[in-house]
A and B are shown apart, each in its own frame.
Chain A
Amino acid sequence: MRRPFSRKQRGTILAGMLAFVMLLVVLQLWLLSATMNAYLGGDESVIWPATVASFLCLLLNGGLLRYLYKLDGTR
């Protein structure tokens, strides 16, 4: 089977996904540093919501990775 996208199209899709992944990773970094500050300061209220948010970001990233494999795999 031929790939459904041309090489150029795949390049563009990859660039878009990469931008999204970077955004999510930066968000996670911010969550981690804010949560660490809250934990050290004895503020427990934000820890669980931030953990859930971080795992949601990871889930989204995992989905994009799956799509990337699919994009590469069809030939």
Chain B
Amino acid sequence: MSGDGPEDDPRSPLDPLLDTPRREGLTGTAPADRYKPVADPELVTTPPDGRPMELQPAWRTDFPVDWPQDHYVERRDFMKFMILTSLAFAVGQAWIAAMSWLRRRRDRHPELRIARIDEVPVGGAIEFAYPEPHDACVLVRPREDLLIAYSQRCTHLSCAVRPQVDRGVFHCPCHEGRFDMETGRPLAGPPRRALSRIVLANRGGAIYAVGVEERTI
């Protein structure tokens, strides 16, 4: 048999002989259209290009993906993932709040004698640790009348900054960050926050560290 009738269409889901006149019932079946499913608009699948099923490649009938439902499920899962992200952000926020509360409870700034004023040469620097033994700091004297101290921890990723007194900057060798020596503000490279300043006090010709001043800019 040849021709373009539905019986030649390999995608036709029904045996065409079942529906030929006088054959109904012979095989114990009813006319094929009796059980033809009524399309529920909720269950009709639309191929991604929107063309009817007859114009789709044959393989699509073997993989009948319900595209509208597929899109719906994709978006639903994405929304759930976003809400999980939202939970993670809220937990992060709570963590910062807890850390800040702990920091406030622990906050103590003991007095620490660093050096006598005449032990610091003009254009020189002295390293010390404050407030804890692992908190490296540096005291610099860029001019005769200026003594200034900062935490050495770079505000980018915590490498130790080094004073370059002749250039008036602190240099961070990790990512070429630079900070102004007089203000501690970032000048170049990735750092965005100023170095923490160590509050100094002059007690009878000796320099003491008495506090830490952190700054957002």
Chain A residues engaging chain B, CB cutoff 8 angstroms: 3, 6-8, 10-11, 14-15, 17-18, 21-22, 24-25, 28-29, 31-32, 35-44, 47-48, 50-51, 54-55, 57-58, 61-62, 64-65, 68, 72
Contacts and interface: CB of A to CB of B under 8 A. Distances in A.
B86 A57 contact: yes
Main secondary structure of the interface of B (DSSP, over half): helix
B97 A48 contact: yes
Main secondary structure of the interface of A (DSSP, over half): helix
B214 A25 contact: no
A63 B193 CA distance: 38
Given A51-B94, A57-B86, 10 more contacts: A28-B89, A32-B92, A32-B93, A50-B93, A51-B93, A54-B89, A54-B90, A54-B93, A58-B90, A68-B80
Contacts of B119: none
Contacts of B214: 40-43
B68 interface: yes
B87 interface: yes
